[in-house]
């Protein structure tokens, strides 16, 4: 029997500079590298919980920007939904890390994707990472065929 859904929230946290860097955190309990996120308190709004968890896990104050999406999976046999927002971090940490976090690393997008431990998080960051730094994927423009008027494709008219 499926248990009650677990709700969590977090952030795709970016420090801007010459080269944007993404925050990933190493959990103390299993040494896995993950996106900063955590369970919501019972009556907590997701966006508020996302900010709280990111500050606790990275030590950085953040500005919360737009919603980027959610991932779902099973945890201990129960469905889990984790919502993510784009967040911009202050350059210097403001707080100590919580004891559940062994380390925080700030990496360029591709390196952050490689370092993450879970394939679902790798896929998610790969899909939203460019948007998180303000880069939009370029849409391929449809090629339009234009016919040049030449003697061969002009209609002949009778006079």
Span 96-118, pLDDT tens digits: 888 899 999 999 999 999 999 99
User: pTM to 2 decimals?
Assistant: 0.81
Looking at residue 58, its pLDDT comes to 94
Residues 72-97, mean pLDDT to the nearest whole number = 91
Mean pLDDT of the chain: 87
CA distance 153 to 11: 59
Residue 152: its H or E element: none
pLDDT band at 36 (very low <50, low <70, confident <90, very high): very high
Q: Domains of the chain: which residue ranges? A: 6-132
DSSP string, 86-126: EEEE-SS--SPPPTTEEEEEEE-HHHHHHH-S-HHHHHHHH
21 neighbors 95 (Cβ within 8 angstroms):
no
Answer whether residue 12 shows pLDDT above 70. yes
Residues 48-74, mean pLDDT to the nearest whole number = 96
Answer whether residue 150 shows pLDDT above 50. no
Residues 126-133, mean pLDDT to the nearest whole number = 92
* CATH fold for domain 6-132: Nucleoside Triphosphate Pyrophosphohydrolase (3.90.79)
């Amino acid at each position: 029997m499926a248990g009650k859904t677990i709700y969590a929230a977090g952030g795709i946290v970016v420090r801007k500079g010459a080269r944007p860097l993404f925050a990933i955190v190493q959990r103390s309990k299993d040494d896995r590298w993950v996106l900063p996120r955590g369970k919501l308190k019972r009556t907590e709004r997701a966006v508020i919980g996302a900010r709280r968890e990111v500050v606790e896990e990275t030590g950085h104050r953040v500005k919360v920007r737009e919603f980027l999406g959610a991932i779902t999976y099973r945890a201990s046999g129960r469905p889990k939904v984790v919502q993510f927002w784009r967040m911009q971090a202050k350059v210097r940490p403001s707080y100590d890390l919580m004891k559940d976090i062994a380390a925080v690393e700030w990496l360029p997008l591709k390196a952050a994707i490689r370092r993450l431990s879970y394939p679902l998080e790798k896929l998610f960051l790969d899909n939203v990472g460019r948007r998180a730094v303000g880069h939009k994927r370029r849409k391929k423009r449809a090629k339009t065929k234009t016919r040049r008027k030449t003697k061969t494709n002009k209609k002949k008219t009778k006079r």
